[in-house]
Copies of this chain bind each other. A is one copy, B any other.
Amino acid sequence: MKQETRKQEIIRIAAKLFKEKGYSAVTMRDLAKAMGIKAASLYNHINSKQDILKTIIISLAEEFTEGMKLIQTSDENCIDKLKSIIELHVRISSQNIYGMASLNNDWMHLEEKLEYYQKLRIDYENDFRNILKEGIVSGEIVNVKPDVMMFSILTTLRSLYIWIPKKEDLNLEELSSTLSKILITGINK
């Protein structure tokens, strides 16, 4: 088990505060207080507030991109690819509850990395939509608007970070399979 550096600790605590109040509402003095030090001391470890946000968001976005590339190039059928995407989101979200909040809510405060982030996001959505479209062609998936299907599934997956911490008895595999059932086969009997 690798020891957490002071920088990593600052970023972890920052993500927690960002989740509670949003990037803009968290001051460097808030963060320092949560670390038990003075604001100026933070700058021995990090370059800027913006840099913290960038680190949190970009590392997560790249993790999703890598996961999607693996799924996309696998030889699973479309339904199984969808299940793999659901597992990907459950895994990353449960491991990064706080960071996921920044990814979802504070990406617009990225500065130099904003364009790069937006490209990753658009590519991810395109890959996702293409899997659905393939499923429609192959007859695995119903022929309704792929945009609406993607929106529905993806917003649910993107919001997992809100909901996971509220469940005491969390079994990740069980959550993935329950979600797969609901998202893929619906709730109607």
Q: Show the binding face of A for B, using Cβ within 8 Å.
A: 20-25, 79, 105-106, 108-109, 132, 139-142, 144-145, 147-149, 151-153, 155-156, 158-159, 162-163, 167, 175, 178-179, 181-189
A182 CB contacts on chain B under 8 angstroms: 144, 148-149, 152, 186
Cβ A179 vs Cβ B148 within 8 A: yes
A144 CB contacts on chain B under 8 angstroms: 178, 181-182, 187
**Cβ contact of A140, chosen from B21, B184, B189, cutoff 8 A:** B189
When all copies of this chain in the complex are counted, the total is 2
Minimum Cβ distance to chain B for residue A20 (Å):
7
Known A-B contacts A140-B189, A187-B141; the reply to A22 vs B105 at CB < 8 A is yes
A140 CB contacts on chain B under 8 angstroms: 188-189
Known A-B contacts A142-B188, A188-B79, A189-B139; the reply to A175 vs B162 at CB < 8 A is no
Cβ B108 vs Cβ A21 within 8 A: yes
A178 CB contacts on chain B under 8 angstroms: 144-145, 148
Instruction: Give the complex CA separation of A182 and B142 in angstroms.
Output: 9
**Cβ contact of A156, chosen from B24, B25, B132, B152, cutoff 8 A:** B152
**Cβ contact of A149, chosen from B24, B167, B175, B187, cutoff 8 A:** B187
Q: Which 6 interchain pairs have the tightest Cβ spacing?
A: A186-B186, A24-B24, A155-B159, A24-B25, A185-B186, A152-B156
Minimum Cβ distance to chain B for residue A70 (Å):
22
Q: Tell me the nearest residue of chain B to A183, going by C-beta.
A: B152
